[in-house]
Structures are given as structure tokens and as C-alpha cells.
A and B are shown apart, each in its own frame.
Chain A
Amino acid sequence: MNSTLAILAVLDGISYAALVFLVSVGLSLIFGVLRVVNVAHGSLYAFGAYLAATFSIKVAPLSPWLTYPALLAASVVIGVVCGGFIERFLLRPLYGRDDVLQLLITFAAFMIMDNLQRLIWGVQPIFAAEPLKLLPNVTVFGVNYTSYQVILLPGVALMTLFGLRYFLRHTLAGAVIMAVTEDREASTSIGIDARRVYFVTFIIGASLAALGGALASPTTSLVPGMGADMIVLSFAVAATAGLGQIEGTALTALMIGLTRAFVIYLQPEFEVLVPYLLMVLVLLVRPYGLFGATQVRKI
């Protein structure tokens, strides 16, 4: 592989990693704070994508540039409505009970949302590429790339990463979330409403899943089953990083994106295996993930 192809592979890897990070970080955040593996995360991604496409198709005739706020609006709507509903009515009654119940209830939510998606948007692929078409292509060593994929997506991923870092470490709301994450009982005893923290955190995580879907919608066909694929990949990224590790999720997404891109150039047969092979290798050596810390078990 010559240096030109290596640079192309790096660009492809970064572009892929950006999208994977945006989806996985919400899953990781929710687990980090609520200790819930949200199987419905894939459905939130799919709903975000479908609603963004619906909004884009509606607003594009008015002005194609309105499709960008439409993507953001779709993410917020799905995060607040679907995320809020799942946390308030499905998860909250189960806090403090067996973890398996939380897994099962989010799985049930995933199945219901999968069917709802078919009822609302049908089964034919939907495509709304307006936001992508608005930005010009860039040429690298004679190969065209869309600015949307090599500039905008990585840019949004970086903003999300640093935004989350700032929010959690330098704001009062973030400090409250971190306190509940560290010790729910202690934080409750000093007057923090842990339930509210859980609610808000779940909405943020759900919005991030929906944002991933919304940003993916201009680049891909929206089809039934797209959520199932994404939850598997997101879980692989989050588990490899260590559940709850935001910076770790970013680095793992980058690692998976770059490895996948180089594999496609060198040994495409292994493309599908890459994320899962990395996950197995990492978990064999570090059971809590690359950036996870060993947990003290409370008895």
C-alpha cells in the first residue's frame, strides 16, 4: 500500500469513525450514568434518521439550507419524546430491580419501535440527501470525497466530544450528573434528585443516538432493520472502550474506523469482522474495556 492509498484510507476511516462515535457515545453515556444497556438505542438511531429525512423532505422546497436545522430538530424531538417516554414509563419502575429486567424492557421497546417504524414510514427505502448535496466535493489525490463526510461529520463528532467533556466537567448540571454516577445514595442524601438526573441523561443519550441517525440520513438509505445493525456495532464500540467512557468511545471509534478502512484496502474479506475481532481481543486482555476501570463490587 503506497502513501496515497494510506491517506485515502485514513480519510475514509475518520469519516466512518465520526458516525460510529456519534451513535455509540449516547449508549455509553446512558450506561455510565444509569447502568442500563439500552437495547432500544438502535431504534432511537433509526427514528432519528427517519424523522430527519421526513423533516428534510418537507422543508427542502422552502430552502435546502433549512434541512440542517431539520436534522437537529429531529434529534431533539426523538430524544425528548421517545427517550423521555422510555425512561419515565419503562425504565423508572425497574430501577433497583434485577438488571436483566432493564435489558428485557429495552429489548421490548426496541421490538415495538421496529414495528412502529414500519407502520409509520413503510418498508421502501427512503433517502433524503439534500444536506449532503449542498456541500461541494473535495478532491484528494484525484479521488472525490463529499465535504459532508470528511469535514462536517468529523467536525460534529469533535464538537460533541468536547461539548460533552465541557458539560460534564465544567458545568453545574454536569457535576450533578457526575455525582449521581459516582454514588447515587450519597448524592441523593445531599439533595440531588437522582431520578431527574437519570431522566435528563437518558434524553441526552437518546438525542445523541437520534443525532447519529439524523446525520447519517443524507448519506444512506433508510430501511427496516437499520436500528438492529447499529445497536450491535454501537455496543461493540462501547464495550471495547469500556462502558461509560466517553473519550474512550471516541478513540475506539477512531481505531475501528481506521482499521476497517485499511482492511478494505488490504484484505476486504475481513471488513465485517473488524469491530468484533477488536472487541474480542480487547476484552480478553482487559475485561472492562480499553479505558474502563475495574469495578468494586458492593455486597
Chain B
Amino acid sequence: MQYFKTALAAAAATAILAGAALAQGKPQEIKIGIATFLSGPASVFGVPAKAAAEMIAEDLNKKGGIGGVPVKLSFIDEGAGGEALVSNYRRIVQDDKVDATFAAISSGSCNQLVPVAEDLKVMNFMWDCGAASILEVKKYRYNFRTQANGTPEMLAVLIYLLKTKPDFKTIAVVNQDYAWGRESWEIFSTALKAMKPDVQVVAELFPKFGAPDYSTEVSRLLALRPDVVLTTAWGGDLDTLVRQAGQRGLLQQSTFVLGIGESSIQRLGKDLPEGLIVGARGDHWFLHPEKKNDPAFKAFNEAFKAKTGAWPIYPVYHMAQAFKALQTAYDKAIKANGGNWPTREQVVDATAGTEFATGFGRPVTLRPEDNQGLEAQLVGVTKSFPGYDFKLLDNMMIFDPRVITNPAGVRSVEWLKTLKPEFAKMDVPTFKQ
């Protein structure tokens, strides 16, 4: 009899727990913790992205939130760096009990926070960091990258260069001396060597990150006269380099390729001449040729301009992509759970392999094998247009991510070495502004 009572009690408890899991009630809010740069030079990306996150969350909540639940944001400053960043991340996950995190901009931050997210079993979207290696060396369950990585970003820019200026013989690079500057050049130069081995690299310059002066680099490049100068610098560094190079005629002497220059176009204004090749670091541009007449896209851009005084730049779109991915994952998980509110693990299950519409470019797929986002790449050339006091992108090409992203399980650099000159002859649609 005693045995029967115990078994009955256990069965009842199991039924109650199982029922709770299957029909978990809606929470009061979905808490999202966001790591972004609020201080330091990279705040040129982090602060606009924060403004975008606040704008998107407000809009989302006005429309009822995700699955009827409003979102609530909290931010941590990547500028704090190192242990402080990790401690703050742990705090928002363990104390504030966020449901998901978007971390981060810097690849260094991602390298630090991705293993922590995995340990804490919290879903994390690497919303802007570009180092390909993070998802190449280990398979994660809780970490996803909701945009492309440095490999397709650099490869798209290189193929654009090879298509539009196929006869160049010499190239020089001026990149910031830190992880991104080095890694982006490794990607670019490896692919260049594979697809056009006759090109001579005449200078590899890596000035200090945050350098206030590039006079000597400019002098050296003026003396060397390379056909092409590549830079993947960003923020104030890129602005300074472009202006100092322009003042001394270097921009007119060599073809400049600004690997991720889209974010500087508005600031550089009239100082940016025509004819520079510019990468958008993804499939987004505030006058995207396939979306510029879409009312929702225009409304987003105009709302952001009204809020901040500038048109959106790529970190703004990357932040929006993270929200779109989260929303899509929750919708998918709710549907898979028969309309009931899903558990965190069910949301993670639903995120793998998800394809989501960004609303400002082509859809992005989170590749299930390695959780890497497959995002198209837009590259164009600067040109003046009436009505704008800065250059716009013209002759834009949009590259298919499935073609220019290394296959899952193959390291980027190893894959790039296998490319042949014919690879650059792929058909890519070109769009006028």
C-alpha cells in the first residue's frame, strides 16, 4: 500500500511538472542583454546601435512585443573590456536573468563572451563581430552569428575589385594594427594570391590603432605609386586616413578600396571623392537597390535619421538583424510548441537553421551546422548625386552568401587557398543608384 501511495504521488508530481513545461505561461517580458561599445573609439558603432535597439524595442512593444510579450533591454559597455565585461555579462545573465543576449561588436569581446554564454546556457547572438574563426573552431549550441563574418565581407570586396579593375598589378594595404586589421588582410591577401597570383604587394602598413597621423604612410604610398590601396580601417582612423590621403593627392593617384567604409561615407562628406570601392559589411545600405522603395524600410531609415540625425550605418542594421532573428526564432518555437510559450531550450532549438527576413536586404539564414549567418554582401563605388552632401554608392553588386562563404567545417583561410581565377568571374547582378 505504501509503495502504491509513493508511486501515485510521484506520477502526480511528474504530470504537474510536465504540464507546466508544455504549457508554460507567458512571461511578463523578454529580457535582452546587449553588449555594445558605449565608450572608446568603437562607440562610433556602439552608440548608433544602441539608439537603434531602443527604437526597435519601442516599436516592437507598441505592436505587442514578441508573441505578445514586450521586450526589455539592458546594456553593458564593451568599452570596459576584459574582466569587467565578463563580470557585467555574468551579472545580467545570472542576476538580471536575461532571456537572450546580443554580444558583441568586437571579435575580442565575442571570443571572451561566447564560451561564457555557452557555460551559462543563455542564447547569444553575435550581432556584429566579424572574426570567422570563432565559429570555425568549435560547435556551439547557444551561440549564433546573425550576420556574415570577415571572410565573405572581404571576398566580396576583392571580387568587386577584380571585376571592375582587372588589370591592376600592384597593391598596398594600410590597416589598423589589431585583430581585425590583420585578419581582414590575411583573408583578402590569401584570396588575392589564389585568384590573381601575379599581383605584387608593395607595402603592408599597420599603423597603430587610433593613430592621429598617417603622413608618413601617405608619403610612402605616394612614392610607391601602387595601383590599388586597400584599407579595412573604420571610424575616426578611416576618416583621418582618407582625408590626409585626399589632401595630398593619393586618392587620385591610386584606386582606394575601403573594405568596410560604408559607415564613414556620411561623415566624410565632400572629402570623399568619386571612384572609391566601398564595402557595406553586409546586405544593407540606406538606399538599398532592392528595398529603397519599400515603405517599411524607408520608415525605419527615416525614423532613425529623425532620432539621431544620421542615416543608418551597418551596425544599426546588424542590431536590427539580431532583433529579427530573435523574433523569428520565438515565433517558430511558439508554433512548434502548439501555440504555447516555449522554454528557453525550445527557442534555442528553433533558432538553429532559421531563415529570417531582415526587411532591408535579402533574407539571412543561420546555418545549422555551425550557427554562422549567411548574409549577402553589397559592394559599390562612390559617386556624387544631387540632393546629398555626401557620396552615394553606385554600380552596386550584391553577392550571394552561399557562394562567397566558406563551407561549414572548413577553415576560411584553407578554403580561400583553393579558389581559382575563374571564381572571380561569377555572375553578380549590378545595380545603379
Contacts and interface: CB of A to CB of B under 8 A. Distances in A.
Interface of A: 4-5, 8-9, 11-13, 15-16, 19, 114-115, 118, 122-125, 127, 129, 132-133, 137, 141-146, 149, 216, 219-226, 229-230, 260-261, 264-265, 268-269, 271-272
A125 B248 contact: no
A42 B237 CA distance: 18
B267 interface: yes
A149 B214 CA distance: 11
A237 B39 CA distance: 27
A271 B249 CA distance: 24
Contacts of B204: 268
A133 B247 CA distance: 8
B365 to A, nearest CB: 33
Interface stretch (B41-49, B65-73, B100-108): B41-49
Nearest to A273: B208
Contacts of A225: 39-41, 210
A272 B211 CA distance: 9
B359 interface: no
Interface in B373-418: none
Contact of A8 (B39, B205, B223, B271): B223
Contact of A129 (B47, B237, B247): B247
B24 interface: no
Contacts of A268: 203-206
19 contacts: A4-B223, A114-B39, A118-B39, A118-B43, A124-B47, A124-B310, A127-B271, A129-B271, A141-B223, A143-B219, A145-B219, A219-B240, A223-B236, A225-B41, A229-B210, A264-B205, A264-B220, A268-B204, A269-B206
Contacts of B249: 137, 144
B240 A221 contact: yes
Nearest to B204: A268
A125 B267 contact: yes
A133 to B, nearest CB: 7
Given A220-B213, A223-B210, A124 B44 contact: yes
Contacts of B239: 125, 127, 221
A229 B248 CA distance: 25
A144 B222 contact: yes
A261 B218 CA distance: 11
Nearest to B46: A123
Question: Would you list the 6 A-B pairs with minimal beta carbon distance, nearest first?
Answer: A223-B236, A221-B236, A125-B236, A123-B43, A12-B216, A220-B212
B332 interface: no
Given A127-B239, A268-B206, A271-B208, A143 B41 contact: no
**Which among B235, B236, B239 has the greatest number of chain A C-beta atoms within 10 A?**
B236
A221 B210 CA distance: 10
Nearest to A264: B216
Contacts of B47: 122-124
B292 interface: no
Interface residues of B, number: 37
A224 B213 contact: no
A159 B208 CA distance: 29
A221 B264 CA distance: 12
Contact of A16 (B215, B235, B236, B244): B215
Contact of A146 (B39, B43, B237, B247): B247
Contacts of B222: 142-144
**Which among A216, A219, A223 has the greatest number of chain B C-beta atoms within 10 A?**
A223
Contacts of B208: 229, 271-272
Given A125-B236, A144-B222, A224-B43, 9 more contacts: A8-B219, A16-B215, A115-B39, A124-B310, A129-B243, A142-B222, A143-B223, A264-B216, A272-B208
A127 B243 contact: yes
A245 B215 CA distance: 27
Contact of A137 (B203, B237, B247): B247
B248 A224 contact: no
**Which among A123, A125, A137 has the greatest number of chain B C-beta atoms within 10 A?**
A123
Interface in B78-114: none
Contacts of A272: 177, 206-208
B217 interface: yes
Interface string B219-261: 1101100000000000111011001100111000000000000
Contact of A132 (B206, B212, B217, B247): B247
A23 to B, nearest CB: 10
B236 A222 contact: yes
B216 A9 contact: yes
**Which among A124, A137, A146, A264 has the greatest number of chain B C-beta atoms within 10 A?**
A124
A223 B237 CA distance: 9
A93 to B, nearest CB: 29
Contacts of A149: 215
Contacts of A229: 208, 210, 212
B212 A226 contact: yes
A117 B52 CA distance: 23
Nearest to B45: A123
Given A124-B267, A272-B177, A19 B213 contact: yes
Contacts of B220: 8, 264-265
A212 B243 CA distance: 19
B236 A12 contact: no
A219 B244 contact: yes
Contacts of A127: 239-240, 243, 267, 271
A137 B267 contact: no
